[in-house]
Every structure is written in structure tokens, then in C-alpha cells.
Amino acid sequence: MARHEDQPLTSSEEAPAAQAQTPLQRAVAALAKMKARVESLEKAANDPIAVVGVGCRFPAGGTSPAAYWDALERGVDGVKEIPAERWPRDAIPGSPQETRWAGLLDDVETFDPRFFGMAPREAESLDPQQRLLLEIAWEALEDAGIRPTTLEGSRTGVFVGASGLDYRERVIDQRAGAYDAYCATGNFLSTAAGRVSYVLGLQGPAMVIDTACSSSLVALHTAVASLRARDCDLAIAGGVNLLLSPTSTTLIAATQALSPDGRCRALDARANGFVRSEGCGLVVLKRLSDAERDGDRVIALVLGSAVNQDGRSTGLTAPNVLAQQALLRQAIQSARISPAELTYMEMHGTGTSLGDPIEYEALRAVVGEPRADGSTCVLGAVKTNVGHLESAAGIAGFIKVLQALGTAASRPTCISSASIRASRWRARPSSSPPRPPRGTRRPESHAAPASPRSASAGRTPT
């Protein structure tokens, strides 16, 4: 049978054609095929990740991303004296001044268990952190235009940064040995992410990551890697932290890291420690190609991220400036941009006399070189407004950056800096966030939340 000119070759016809090629031609064809494969793998490994939904609860009335930004815009101070409803002042021996302050949510007690198909009896023993994760995951998905009930059986991953177990201590004290199965499942960190997957029927990876203050950004980094590896097609990532027992505050106070007047003064000569805080933030992530295919609203793109550890430094809780520089360079390389393209950095910025100068020096070394256009990289630290959310600290900064990108404005920190402590800071390549005119924006700007770091913790600029 005669073959039409545009009819494809059959397998039996391909073989003689291939045999007719010279060894050089076959080698060139194999190299071209291999090159295409490598390019495909590189594209998948560096595929931008789209943020398509956000949900949060932060101090100062940050009950939604918009309310959070509004509080930052108005310079609201989310730190207050700890009320007796949380724990009485005499719950901490001696009631030192630095243990009297915290950034607190207005309501962590109310929860509708039946909405999530849960019996009230189970909810009684359920860590409020897990309750909050369920609520915020639902809100973040709705913000993404996704009906949560439609995700059952989907390859959706859940990546949660969490560290504290304050509620378990309360359950142990209040139950006095009269425990049931819910006391265990409701108070293991490992079930926090799994519960979201269970309630929504999600079948992607589910994990809780505890790297202390960097937990939520490491969770975000892991979610990005999982999407690029195609372990999941949708990801919910972020962190949670609630202050429900005086014991953890007592232990942290013993490290002398807390501020006596309850303020995080980032890059400030008056810096004297940090103040603890609580909250929850989650983002919904997709590969950009999938988001565009599905017609999703794209809030921002994650171009790259990196994670490392300080290694040996002057102490377990002390940062390492060289390790921080290496991490920043790795993240910038991962994003395939140049340091000069960075226009804003959300710092860890706890307001400690040890950590802030080291973080600043690392930033200056990597992004502080003079630029041909005279521009600078602006620095900010949301901890000055809401305190240190610990395992949820990174996502609080990340969501601040998302809101800033949406309005093309970075809001000033709550506490203005006094004279800089160390003389080596005088030639500063960066500045505190300005308050630009409404409606102005800088095109093609790149913003990056810098990493939280802590004792035995990974760090992740994203």
C-alpha cells in the first residue's frame, strides 16, 4: 500500500531510517534528545510557584490579610499586657517584667466542631492550634476561589510549621489522669497537618516541621519543592503558634532573650530582646503553569528559596554571619535574579543586640553593593508591630510582603529606630520602609522575606 506524503512513519519504517543514519547523526540526535530532557527537568525544578490564596489570624486585629495590612498601615501595636484570662500574673514565679507582655489574638477559645464534622467531646481535648489551622486552611482555600469540599481525594499537600505544645500541659493538668484517645490525637504535633488532610480528604504529603523560629518558612520551602517535584498539585503551607501556658514563657525568660518592656526593636540602639506573640498564617500554592491554566488569581510568585543551618558559631543560639550570607546567595541564585534586583527585605529582626547586627551585616554583604541606578534595598521587620510569632514568625513576614506587593507600598515599622548601636552600621545600604504616596508602584520589583533563625533551626529566605 502506498503511503501518503503526510502519513507518519510506522515503527517498522523508522528502523531502517535510523539505520541509514551515520554514527555522527545518531549521536547528534541523541544529544538533542538529552538536551531537551535536561531543559524539561530544569524548567520543572525552577518553575515559579504561584500564591493563589491567603488566610491568617495575627495580633492587632489581623483577622484577614486585608485587616492585617490595615493594622500595619495604621501602625497598630499588637503587643499588650497578658490578661488574667490567659494566666494570672502570679503563675510565673516572681512575675518578672519581661513575662508580662505578648502579642495575643482576641479569641482562641471559640470553635465550631460540627462544621468540621467533629464531635464536641473530641474538640474539648483538641489543641487550639489545630482548631485554628482548620479554620485558616478553609479561609485560605476560599480566598483562592477553591471550595474546600471539592478537594477530597486530590493530590493536595499540607505543610505546617509548629513548635509549641502548651495546650497539652493544660490537658494533663486538668484531666489528672482521666485521659481518652482524643487527649493524644489532639495534642501531638504530628497530627496538626494530618488533621487538615483528614477533614478535607486530601491525599498529598502532610507534615509538621519544627525548626523553631524558621518553621513556617521551612514549611513553605518544602511545599515549593514538593510542587516542583510533582509530589502534589496544590499545597497549603504556613505556620501556627499559640501561647496557652506560662511554662514556656518562664523557660524562655530564663535565657534572658525577652524584652523587659515587651517590644521588638529591630535595628534599634534601644533593642533589648523580643516579645512573644501568637497567630496563624497559611498560603495556597500552585505551579504557575497550573494556575494560569485554571484561570486563578495570582497574588505573587515564589521564584526561589533555600535552607541551611548556622553550624558552629559562638553558641547554640548565636547566628553565623557567613552561613547567613551563603544562604542569601543560594536563595538569590535559586530565584535566578541578581542581588541588585531586590527592592525589599523582610528581616527576622527580633530586636536583639546580638542577632540584628549579624543579620544586617549578612544582608549588607549580599545585597548592599552600590547600584548603578542609585536604588537601595529597603528593610523592614513586622515583629516591631506584632511581636515574635516563633514557629509562625516567617509566614507573618511573608504575608506582609504579599500585601505590600498588592499595594506597591511597604509600611513603616511600629517603632522607629534610634541611633544605630554599632559604628559599622553607619554606611547603611538600606533604609527603613518609607511611606510612599498612595497609588505609586515600582515595576518589576522583587521582595524577599528573610529567614527566621534560632537555636538548632534551619533558615530559609524565600
pLDDT at residue 342, rounded to an integer:
92
Who contacts 103 (Cβ-Cβ below 8 Å, separation ≥6)? 58, 59, 60, 78, 79, 80, 275, 276, 277, 278, 279, 386, 387, 388, 389
In what side-by-side order are the strands of the sheet with 342-346? 378-380, 342-346, 446-449
Output the pLDDT for position 38: 75
The interaxial angle of helices 393-407 and 65-73, nearest 10 deg, is 80
383 and 349 in contact (C-beta within 8 Å)? yes
Per-residue confidence band for 452, with pLDDT thresholds at 50, 70 and 90: very low
The residue from 232, 388, 414, 446 that is catalytic is 388
pLDDT at 74 over 70: yes
Closest residue by Cα to residue 331 from 310, 306, 349: 306
The residue ranges of DSSP E strands in 138-189, in sequence order, are: 156-161
- 165 burial level (CB within 10 Å; 0-12, 13-18, 19+): middle
CA–CA gap between residue 274 and residue 165 (Å, rounded): 20
Residue 4 falls in the annotated catalytic set: no
Lowest mean per-residue pLDDT among 42-46, 214-218, 264-268? 42-46
Q: Please give the single-letter amino acid code of residue 265.
A: R
3-state secondary structure of 391: helix
- pLDDT tens-digit profile of 2-26? 444 455 545 455 455 556 788 888 8
Burial readout 215-229 (b: 16 or more C-beta within 10 A, e: otherwise): bbbbbbbbbbbbbbe
**Where residue 121 falls among pLDDT bands split at 50, 70, 90?**
very high
Three-state DSSP class for residue 236: strand
Paired sense of beta strands 378-380 and 300-302, if any:
unpaired
377 is catalytic: no
Choose the catalytic residue: 56, 221, 280, 348. 348
The C-alpha atoms of residue 101 and residue 59 are separated, in whole angstroms, by 13
Ranking 56-65, 134-143, 293-302, 427-436 by mean pLDDT, the lowest is 427-436
Quote the pLDDT of residue 218: 97
User: Above 70 in pLDDT, residue 454?
Assistant: no
Which of the two residues, 217 and 313, has the higher pLDDT score? Answer: 217
Annotated catalytic residue: which of 213, 264, 377, 414? Answer: 213
pLDDT digits (tens, 9 = 90+) for 426-443: 333 333 443 333 333 333
Mean pLDDT of 255-272: 92
pLDDT given at position 29 = 85
Handedness of CA 327, 330, 332, 338 (dihedral sign): positive
Please name the residue that has the C-alpha cell 494566666: 87
Contact assessment for residue 203 and residue 145, using Cβ atoms and an 8 Å cutoff: no
Q: Is residue 348 among the annotated active site residues?
A: yes
Grid coordinates belonging to 249: 514563657
> Residue with C-alpha cell 535565657?
255
Residue 457 confidence (pLDDT): 39
User: Which H or E run contains 172?
Assistant: helix 166-175
> Where does the pLDDT of residue 41 fall: very low under 50, low under 70, confident under 90, or very high at 90 and above?
low
Q: What is the largest CA-CA distance in the chain?
A: 98
Q: Which of 300, 278, 279, 282 is nearest to 291 (CA)?
A: 300
351: left (phi over 0), alpha (psi -120 to 50) or beta: left
422 band by pLDDT with thresholds 50, 70 and 90: very low
Cell of 71: 493594622
Minimum mean pLDDT range among 97-106, 223-232, 412-421:
412-421
Q: What average pLDDT does this structure show over 357-361?
A: 93
CA–CA separation, 214 vs 390, rounded Å?
8
* pLDDT value, residue 3: 46
* Alpha carbon 121 to chain centroid, angstroms: 32
User: 324-349 burial by CB neighbour count: b if 16+ within 10 A, else e?
Assistant: bbbbbbbbbebbeeebeebbbbbbbb
Each residue's pLDDT tens digit, 149-188: 999 999 999 999 999 999 999 998 888 878 999 999 999 9
